[in-house]
Amino acid sequence: MKDSQKFGFKVIVIGDGSVGKTSLIEKFTQGTFQKEYIKTIGAQFSEFDAEISGDKIRLLFWDIAGQDDFLFLRPSFYRESRAAIIVYSLEENDLGKRSFEHITDWHDDIKQYCEEISIVVFANKVDLIKEDNLDKSLIQDVIKERNFLGYYLTSAKTGKGVIEAFNAIINELYQKYKELSRSL
């Protein structure tokens, strides 16, 4: 009989303001969606417990404000992160365009303040576009160029892709650190 282990992971959730970071976390951890936009001040923290193969996993999601007003806080918020989720909006407006263009800026921030960590991208608000018209080659190029784990189309409102997207990062962390614990 194998001994179960406990794993704890800090995951930063970053991206421009209004892309849906908080809503995605709430949808995943609580199954809820709030229609009104509430600006994150500094950072919010959410815990989530999971179990894989008898091992207990605790995730601490750090939902970091995307506005430049909080730029000075990022170095301390990024410290000791094991993974990052970069969120951008698929909306066909200025927010969507800017948030996509800023993916590389967010990645540069991560590289500046973190060790080598696992990164996924959530293309959020898929419920607001015609998915058939989406040119996925643009995000695929960024994923390949930056060596991210992948990207997921998500909707915090409908829940589309949310469980799959968060579980992908959870499984990645678990596999990575399970192997590390075996080698010690």
**pLDDT tens per residue across span 61-97:** 998 777 676 667 778 889 999 999 999 999 999 999 9
> pLDDT for 114-123, tens place per residue?
989 999 999 9
Number of domains in the chain: 1
Non-local (6+) Cβ contacts of 22 within 8 A are 38, 40, 44, 63
Q: Mind listing the pLDDT tens digit for each residue in 121-175?
A: 999 999 999 999 999 999 999 999 999 999 999 999 999 999 999 999 999 999 9
Is residue 48 assigned to a domain? yes
Tokens of 52: 């894989």
* CATH number for the domain that contains residue 156: 3.40.50.300
Say if residue 87 is exposed, middle or buried (CB neighbours under 10 Å; 0-12, 13-18, 19+): buried
Residue 65 lies in a domain: yes
Q: Is residue 166 part of a domain?
A: yes
CB atoms within 10 A of CB 11: 24
Kindly state whether residue 1 falls inside one of the protein's structural domains.
no
What is the longest distance spanned by two Cα atoms in the chain?
56
Q: By residue range, what is the domain housing residue 156?
A: 6-183
